[in-house]
Structure 1
Amino acid sequence: MTPAIDAPHPAMHVDLEYRSLVDQEQLESNSNFNIRIFTDGSKFEGKVGAALSMWDGAAEIKALKLALPSYSTVYQAELLAICRATRELLKLKAHSYGIYSDSMAALQTVTNVRSLHPLAVETRENLQTATYQKKLVNLFWIKAHAGLEGNERADRLAKEAAVGSKRKHDYDLCPISFVKRSIRMRTLDEWNQRYQNANTAGITKLFFPDAVAAHKIIKKIKPTGITTQLMTGHGGFSEYLNRFGCKDNPSCICEPGALETIPHILLTCPVFASIRYNAEINLESKMDKDSLHKFMLGKNRDIFLEYCCKLVNKVVNRNKSV
């Protein structure tokens, strides 16, 4: 963002607006300019480019391809193309200009005098300079992929710029979204390393061995008291209760010496053999320690969680009554 102190004084603001054109007929009725400039931005095969196509009557007089780094957004590319169009028209001697873009977001940013995006600020400064040069400049939004010749030409050029350009980038400021994503991924990676190297959270790791994958899944699960006890092993289970002196025996009711833990309840306890058998039929897979996390990733997550919560609820309620 451009620092507010570097932005133009409010008294210097120019009232800007754009018009929307939805078909060839409307475009033709708004083409009576000495120079028409079509702009576009593209992200293709992970690469980003922008372009402008300048027309005098029925002839293209200049085409520019602009390169951006892969972390840039299409929005930035669209803004760059519009900004470059205003920069180019300052070099020309023609009186009237029409700038056409299929990015409403970019045009809204440009015409919003409170927007401090550096490309928008420069665009408005260029348009202000154009008025000092007695030049008339109009901004238009046109519908993308509607067969409009100039727009289709700019679209092709932008794709070519994205894929084929090997020169220095015309704009290399990274978007805020990229910074946030980078910080988030670095944070998740650090969290994951600490999580996987720790000697704690053994039960949780059965369901979520990878913290990054867990970060995406856990938001889809409604937390309850039962799911929390299930995924931590901290709850009304004999082994856990015995550890804190709340129960004399850590064993399950199925067999003396068989610790009542989450893996035992879900995978081996004969008390729940029938429920387990039906669940495995619905899941179309055998359950074991190595497969629990796979059910959390797959399409059968809800079936699996329903089975787990049913068993945990039975065990917790049973131990409450003891």
Structure 2
Amino acid sequence: MAVEEAHEIHTVKDTGTLQDIPDDVTLRRKVPVREQLHPAQRVSIDFDEAHNQELLDTISYNFPIKIFTDGSKLDGGEVGSAAVVYLPNGNKVRLKTKLGRTTSVFIAELTAIESALLWLTRSKWRDNAIIASDSLSSLKALQDRNNPDPTVFSIHSALKNLRQNHDQHVRFTWVKAHCGIEGNELADQAAKEAATQRTATCNNEFPISFAKHVIRLRTHQKWQEEYELESQNSQIAKWFATIDEIEEFRKQVAVSFEMTQILTRHGYHKSYLHRFKITDDPLCPCDDSSIQDIMHLLRHCPIFGGARHDHEMTCNNLKINPYKINELLTKSEPTTTFTQLIKTIVNRLKNINKT
């Protein structure tokens, strides 16, 4: 499956399209080196930081045009970007753009800055401007003079155009979100409104990260379906209902010889050994009548009563099932006592069974 996943990602990069996505929504590609600005023409960008309205007012005092930008992705998947322009005459201009559902918040934030600069280029206003964004990642992306992202390239080109053709300079500042800065709050509201507009979307592209995410989900679903088909005869499936549970278990519990024996039910217990005629019978020496399988050893065998009592008391105090792994993983303490119980059983079993 990993090979198939890698092949599908390569195909997306080659064709620019993604299965189950409309053909007019294409891969977002980097700007080729030959099309990028000459290094001498690239604009160096720095930004200030404003954690409140008072500090922002100080930073922006000498900039007659103040622009606030924001991008938003709603729970339903709708995406929008917006810029709110404060003009020297006291008027405000709101620029809203509805973006495709495959657009990331990062790209939405950059698109808002791009929209503001393109509007500034077309407008009659030639005062210097300051752009305030609450997206630190976007501002850092703009600082990279060699960034091949198409929106970053467009922003750099617009800044160069404003400076060379209009002698208009733009300063950037990061603002803390949702801390009472009026312009930022208005931009946030406008971006959400843009996301829900009943208009055609712009920027119908998907980043390669989106493609990888979709392909990974598809691979995971296929893996889960195959796991369910094979679960009827699988010992592992008796412990884990889903692939997600296995992955979570592997994150939290170190793989060990003892744990492998318990989960696969292949080990030193007599019900397993008897299948291969290594022991005369499958019975546990604790009473010479109970089948010595994994569940007997874990839940009933009096030989391991002490370790079992510690584990079950821990689980009872936390109100979780002592033998449901997905519940055990929600707390570290029962996971530890379960692991200790398993190690106690496996490490003593050979001597107990004299095998």
CA distance in 2, matches of 1:25, 1:277: 62
Q: Which whole-Å deviations, capped at 9, do the CAs of 1:43-95 have from their partners, x for residues lacking one?
A: 34344322100111362331022223445432222111111111111101322
Structure 1 window deviating more from structure 2 (181-190 vs 310-319): it is 310-319
- Pairing 1:53–2:84 present: yes
Aligned counterpart, 2:71: 41
- Pairing 1:146–2:176 present: no
- TM-score in terms of structure 2 length: 0.77
CA distance in 1, matches of 2:104, 2:339: 39
- Which ranges in structure 2 are unaligned for 5 or more consecutive residues? 1-28
Structure 1 window deviating more from structure 2 (3-12 vs 134-143): it is 3-12
User: Residues 203 and 305 of structure 1: is their aligned pair in 2 closer, same or farther, counting only changes over 3 Å?
Assistant: farther
Aligned counterpart, 1:2: 30
Aligned counterpart, 2:341: 307
- Which ranges in structure 1 are unaligned for 5 or more consecutive residues? none
Residue 180 of structure 2: SS of its match in structure 1?
Answer: coil
Instruction: Report the CA distance between 1:101 and its aligned residue.
Output: 1.0
Task: Show the 5 A alignment for 1:112-261.
Answer: 112-134=144-166, 135-162=168-195, 164-198=196-230, 202-244=234-276, 247=279, 249-254=281-286, 258-261=290-293
User: Residues 112 and 274 of structure 1: is their aligned pair in 2 closer, same or farther, counting only changes over 3 Å?
Assistant: closer
Residue 45 of structure 1: SS of its match in structure 2?
Answer: coil
Task: Show the 5 A alignment for 1:273-284.
Answer: 273=305, 275-276=307-308, 279-284=311-316
Judge conservation of contact 1:48–1:67 (CA < 8 Å) in 2: yes
Instruction: Report the CA distance between 1:287 and its aligned residue.
Output: 6.7
Residue 122 of structure 2: SS of its match in structure 1?
Answer: coil
Letter paired with 2:70? D
- Percent of aligned positions that are identical: 31
CA distance in 1, matches of 2:259, 2:169: 65
CA distance in 1, matches of 2:352, 2:233: 25
CA distance in 1, matches of 2:193, 2:37: 35
Residue 224 of structure 2: SS of its match in structure 1?
Answer: helix
Letter paired with 2:49? S
Structure 1 window deviating more from structure 2 (1-10 vs 217-226): it is 1-10
CA distance in 2, matches of 1:27, 1:168: 35
Letter paired with 1:15? S
Instruction: Say which of 137, 140, 149 aligns to 1:108.
Output: 140
- Pairing 1:24–2:58 present: no
Question: Larger % of strand: which?
Answer: 1
Aligned alpha-carbon RMSD (Å): 2.9
- TM-score in terms of structure 1 length: 0.84
Task: Show the 5 A alignment for 1:83-98.
Answer: 83-95=114-126, 96-98=128-130
Instruction: Report the CA distance between 1:18 and its aligned residue.
Output: 2.1
Aligned counterpart, 2:25: none
CA distance in 2, matches of 1:152, 1:199: 52
Instruction: Report the CA distance between 1:143 and its aligned residue.
Output: 2.5
Judge conservation of contact 1:66–1:161 (CA < 8 Å) in 2: yes
- Pairing 1:80–2:108 present: no
Instruction: Report the CA distance between 1:2 and its aligned residue.
Output: 0.9
Judge conservation of contact 1:283–1:303 (CA < 8 Å) in 2: no
Residue 66 of structure 2: SS of its match in structure 1?
Answer: strand
Structure 1 window deviating more from structure 2 (261-270 vs 92-101): it is 261-270
The alignment covers a number of residue pairs equal to 318
Letter paired with 1:59? G
CA distance in 2, matches of 1:102, 1:145: 9
User: Residues 286 and 212 of structure 1: is their aligned pair in 2 closer, same or farther, counting only changes over 3 Å?
Assistant: closer
User: Residues 149 and 263 of structure 1: is their aligned pair in 2 closer, same or farther, counting only changes over 3 Å?
Assistant: same
Instruction: Report the CA distance between 1:245 and its aligned residue.
Output: 5.9
Q: Which whole-Å deviations, capped at 9, do the CAs of 1:176-195 have from their partners, x for residues lacking one?
A: 44333222222221111112
Residue 59 of structure 1: SS of its match in structure 2?
Answer: coil
Q: Which whole-Å deviations, capped at 9, do the CAs of 1:219-244 have from their partners, x for residues lacking one?
A: 11122221122212233333434445
User: Residues 165 and 217 of structure 1: is their aligned pair in 2 closer, same or farther, counting only changes over 3 Å?
Assistant: farther
CA distance in 1, matches of 2:302, 2:343: 17
Structure 1 window deviating more from structure 2 (204-213 vs 230-239): it is 230-239
